[in-house]
Amino acid sequence: MTPGPRVSPAARRLLLAAGVFGPAVLLEVGLDRFVADSSVRQLVMTAAINVMIAASLNVINGMAGQFSIGHAGFVGLGAYAAAIVASHLHLALGGGDPTFAHSLVVVPAAVAAGAAVASLAGVLVGLPSLRLKGDYLAIVTLGFAEMFRLVLTSVPLDAKSGVAGAIAKLGGQIGYSGASGQGVPLYAGPLWVFGAASLIVVATWRIKFSGWGRALRALREDEIAASAVGVDPTRYKVTSFVIAAFGAGVAGALSAIMRDGIGIVQPDQFDFRLSFDAITMVILGGSGSITGAVVGALFVTFTVKLIELAQGLDAVRLFQSEHAWLDLNALRMVLYASVLIALMIRRPEGLFGEREPLFARKPRGAAPAGAA
């Protein structure tokens, strides 16, 4: 009921669109120009991809109160599907250097493929989630992700025919580097990566603050009461899995074809460590909070990088040369873990709990927050 500045709905939509795509367009134009170091550009884009991964996992682990530890599987499926589609399209379009004009065709096709494949897997993994809860569901999701990875790594590379032959073309442990083996074409510039990250954040926001989000939270609280008022657990749980898998597929797709990426998709990029990183991001920020997922993703991405950078400092190097027994790589993980433990002791519910601190919900009677 607070009398805010009156903005017409159309104007709000326009503002939102500008807020969502403005930064993406600016980065598309400016990132290459102003950030000369491609490793920094890669880091910034990786952060955006991690935001997508955390925001989508938040739909399952936060909003729906399920516990998936296999999110890397969905990301990986998206990455492989997109890499295959992108590299074949690239060849069909005549090869050469990826151009912006071509990216308008290749990126949507590759992302759609990645999202579709991941969503399909989301249905398959979502179905057992109806009967399983807590630890048991977690094991199913972990099993799915590991199956995906192990099938890719353990296929004999000399297989020529059948399913094994098709999978062997993906390069096994070594990884998939495009149809011609020249590397996956890197079409997705900042516009795509940041645009998709913004879209996914807005989409999960809108799901949270709608009847769907409300129904998911109700199911999380009390399944019997929720189904007694017409919330069908099957429909809502499976759909939440599919939504999360879709987001993870988009993230994986863009990670495979992003500019300044590495041009190769490997099974080990999608092992359980990625799943656990994703869970860390969500829990750190606060399960169910979208602000939390975004902040958690940025925090994890940059903290790991900062510790890496600190490793390269002269003072640190000097220190290590004097103490040869010191394993800096191991220490990095200890340091990272300490930061996480300290945070979780200080704030057991994560940084924001389930709240969205920058966007306090309006009192009742007003439109729900984020209804722009």
Under the rule (CB under 8 A), what is the footprint of other proteins? 9, 13, 203, 206-207, 210-212, 214-215, 217-218, 220-222, 224-235, 239, 354, 363-365, 367-368, 371-372
In 3D space, the residue among 133, 62, 69 whose CA is nearest the CA of residue 353 turns out to be 62
Residue 198 C-beta: closest distance to other proteins, Å: 14
Residue 286 C-beta: closest distance to other proteins, Å: 13
- Nearer of residues 56 and 301 to other proteins, judged by Cβ: 56
d(CA 86, CA 109): 8
Residue 352 C-beta: closest distance to other proteins, Å: 14
d(CA 136, CA 148): 19
The encoded tokens of residue 89 equal 């399209």
What single letter denotes the amino acid at residue 165?
G
- Nearer of residues 232 and 268 to other proteins, judged by Cβ: 232
Helix (H, G, I), strand (E, B) or coil at 19: helix
Query: How far lies 82's CA from each of 116, 252, 356, in Å?
Result: 10, 8, 33
Residue 340 C-beta: closest distance to other proteins, Å: 25
CA atoms lying within 13 Å on the CB side of residue 54: 32
Helix (H, G, I), strand (E, B) or coil at 87: helix
- Nearer of residues 309 and 371 to other proteins, judged by Cβ: 371
d(CA 48, CA 4): 32
Is residue 35 within 8 A of residue 274, CB to CB? The reply is no
Residue 357 C-beta: closest distance to other proteins, Å: 17
- Nearer of residues 88 and 220 to other proteins, judged by Cβ: 220
- Nearer of residues 32 and 354 to other proteins, judged by Cβ: 354
- Nearer of residues 42 and 227 to other proteins, judged by Cβ: 227
Residue 214 C-beta: closest distance to other proteins, Å: 6
d(CA 59, CA 289): 10
